[in-house]
């Protein structure tokens, strides 16, 4: 993983690299050809000085620095703080100026280190896929909770994840529910390449199929017990409401949709009855302001289905479930 991350690092910030080298030298009592050492605390302070001098928010900068350190060292935040006086490993000290240079450019910390946490697992991510968000964990929770309350009577229920990206949703559900047959689809070959790596990382090659598909195009004659999707749902002119780092680094194909962000939901609503088994359920993540519009879209497309809206922890509309009693 470290070598893979090295290949994806941005170019060195030469000025910052020089300052880092000088700090390493000042902090070392080395002799001969031995490489100088720096503590985690000193490296952390240096990174903070670089980021705040560039005008970046202090609290956000510290969060990003600690995210990189805990991720690189595979420790929790308490363990990091308890061991800040320890020497930074040589491999990390070599990469640290690169990583901080990435933060200075506004690159998300998850892309800098090449991983993002999701549902207790660390998923490989880069600019080919969206960074998994905590609100999407709530969507996974809803699916898993319903499976416990209302298990399917078939021996091996089938699940389709439409627009899988890094594979976070599909692979998480497959890992949590071993009796499911899971298919993860995406229109982007680049995204599927990342999902392939994550499938390998979590040893789910025999449990999850990856397919290239524009929504349901590659599963035209197939039906599933569960369909789940976190599709692009941001309207084309919605960038003013987004973080600069999202606009600059995350893939447009996975972010934006036509018709005020509703286009892909409308397409899936029209085809949903053709791809859900009897008593099947579909789950969608949605934009915080799209709830009423999407309730109507799914109810109009599937008059006999039960359509439920669910809020996130902030009290905002975030998910929709469509339950089909019979096709």
Provide the 3-class DSSP secondary structure of residue 184.
Answer: strand
Residue from 1, 111, 115, 96 nearest 39 by CA: 96
pLDDT of residue 29: 46
Provide the 10 A C-beta neighbour count for residue 172: 25
254 pLDDT band, cuts 50/70/90, is: very high
Distance spanning both ends of the chain, measured CA to CA: 46
Rounded to the nearest 5°, which phi and psi values hold at 123?
-95, 140
Rounded mean pLDDT of the chain? 89
Q: Which of 131, 98, 140 is nearest to 10 (CA)?
A: 98
pLDDT of residue 137: 98
pLDDT at site 303? 93
160: left (phi over 0), alpha (psi -120 to 50) or beta: beta
Question: Alpha-carbon distance 243 to 106, whole Å?
Answer: 10
What letter does residue 256 receive in the DSSP assignment?
B
CA separation for the pair 50, 12 (Å, rounded): 13
The predicted model gives 141-147 an average pLDDT of 97
The whole-number average pLDDT for the span 257-279 is 95
Structure confidence at residue 241 (pLDDT): 82
List Cβ neighbours of 184 (8 Å cut-off, separation of 6 or more): 160, 161, 164, 167, 170, 171, 195, 199, 208, 209, 210, 211
Band the pLDDT of 277: cuts 50, 70, 90: very high
pLDDT, average across residues 266-280: 95
Strands 276-285 and 224-229 come out as parallel
Alpha helix segments (H runs only) across 155-301:
168-176, 189-201, 244-249, 263-275, 291-301
Q: What is the mean pLDDT of residues 165-176?
A: 98
pLDDT tens digits, one per residue of 282-303: 999 999 999 999 999 999 999 9
- Model confidence over 174-199: pLDDT tens digits? 999 999 999 999 999 999 999 999 99
Q: What is the pLDDT of residue 16?
A: 45
Residue 325 has what pLDDT? 76
Per-residue confidence (pLDDT) for residue 6, from 0 to 100: 38
How confident is residue 324, by pLDDT bands cut at 50, 70 and 90?
A: confident
pLDDT given for residue 302 in this prediction: 94
Query: Closest Cα partner for 230 from 168, 302, 323, 305?
Result: 168
pLDDT per position as a tens digit, 96-111: 999 999 999 999 999 9
């Amino acid at each position: 993983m470290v070598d893979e991350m090295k290949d994806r690092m941005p170019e060195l910030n030469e000025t910052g690299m020089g300052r880092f080298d000088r700090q390493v030298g000042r902090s070392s009592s080395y002799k001969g050809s031995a490489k100088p050492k720096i503590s985690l605390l000193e490296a952390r302070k240096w990174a903070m000085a670089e980021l705040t001098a560039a005008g970046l928010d202090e609290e956000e900068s510290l969060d990003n620095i600690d995210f990189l350190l805990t991720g690189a060292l595979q420790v929790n935040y308490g363990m990091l703080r308890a061991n800040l006086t320890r020497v930074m490993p040589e491999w990390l000290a070599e990469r640290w100026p690169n990583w901080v240079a990435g933060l200075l450019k506004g690159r998300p910390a998850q892309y800098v280190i090449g991983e993002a946490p999701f549902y207790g697992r660390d998923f490989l991510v880069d600019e080919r896929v969206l960074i998994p968000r905590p609100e999407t964990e709530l969507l996974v929770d809803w699916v898993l909770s319903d499976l416990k309350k209302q298990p399917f009577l078939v021996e091996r229920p089938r699940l389709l994840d439409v627009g899988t990206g890094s594979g976070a949703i599909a692979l998480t559900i497959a890992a949590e529910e071993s009796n499911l047959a899971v298919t993860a689809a995406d229109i982007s070959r680049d995204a599927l390449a990342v999902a392939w790596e994550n499938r390998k990382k979590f040893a789910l090659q025999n449990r999850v199929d990856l397919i290239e598909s524009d929504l349901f195009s590659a599963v035209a004659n197939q039906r599933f017990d569960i369909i789940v999707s976190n599709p692009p749902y941001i309207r084309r002119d919605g960038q003013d409401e987004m973080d600069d780092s999202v606009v600059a680094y995350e893939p447009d194909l996975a972010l934006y949709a036509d018709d005020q962000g509703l286009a892909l939901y409308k397409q899936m609503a029209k085809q949903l009855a053709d791809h859900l088994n009897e008593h099947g359920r579909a789950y969608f993540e949605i934009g915080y302001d799209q709830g009423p519009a999407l309730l109507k879209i799914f109810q109009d497309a599937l008059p006999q289905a039960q359509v439920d809206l669910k809020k996130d922890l902030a009290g905002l509309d975030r998910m929709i479930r469509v339950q089909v009693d019979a096709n």
